[in-house]
Structures are given as C-alpha cells and as structure tokens.
Amino acid sequence: MNQAVQELEQHDSKEADLQKEPAAMQRGKKKIKATIYLTEEAEQAFTELYIHRLRKDRKIDRSMIACDAIQMLFEKECGTPSN
C-alpha cells in the first residue's frame, strides 16, 4: 500500500495543474456519487495522503484524491490518458 501512496505523491504536479484550473471550469465537470469499500490498510493510506496534502496548504478534497488515483491507475494499466 505504501507504493500506491508514493506513486500518488510523485504525481503531485498533475494535481497542481488541476488545481490551477479556474474554479468555474472545475465546477462545470460532471460528478457522480459512488460507494467504494476499502480495506483498513487502504483507508489508512487514503487518510494519511489527505493529511499530507492538507499540511502542504493545498486545497483538496477526498474526491479529488480518489479521482487522481483512478486516473493514474488507468494510465498505468491501459497506457493512455483517459481524456
């Protein structure tokens, strides 16, 4: 699980680019609500990552972390960006 957290941290630049988008553009993206079930280890890593980003004074929500993780996994496994 630590490897997943490290990979997310390595891609902070992608998240920074997303945060630079105007707020109006981010609001315009359609969002859906989903329920996921995490192992205790995954939940702990998710919480630690959230705290890590908050300490860096970056405005972030848990949904953005989950979206980033899914995007990176998709790119890793499929080899192409989803956009």
Higher pLDDT, 58 or 72: 72
Is residue 13 classed as helix, strand or coil in its secondary structure? Answer: helix
4 token code pair? 């997943």
Across 30-40, average pLDDT: 92
Predicted TM-score (pTM) above 0.75: no
Q: What is the pLDDT of residues 38-58, one digit of tens each?
A: 999 999 999 999 999 899 877
Is residue 74 classed as helix, strand or coil in its secondary structure? Answer: helix
Q: Are 76 and 27 in contact (CB under 8 A)?
A: no
* 17 has a pLDDT exceeding 60: no
Q: Region of 43 please: left (phi>0), alpha (psi -120 to 50) or beta.
A: alpha
Is residue 75 classed as helix, strand or coil in its secondary structure? Answer: helix
Residues in the chain: 83
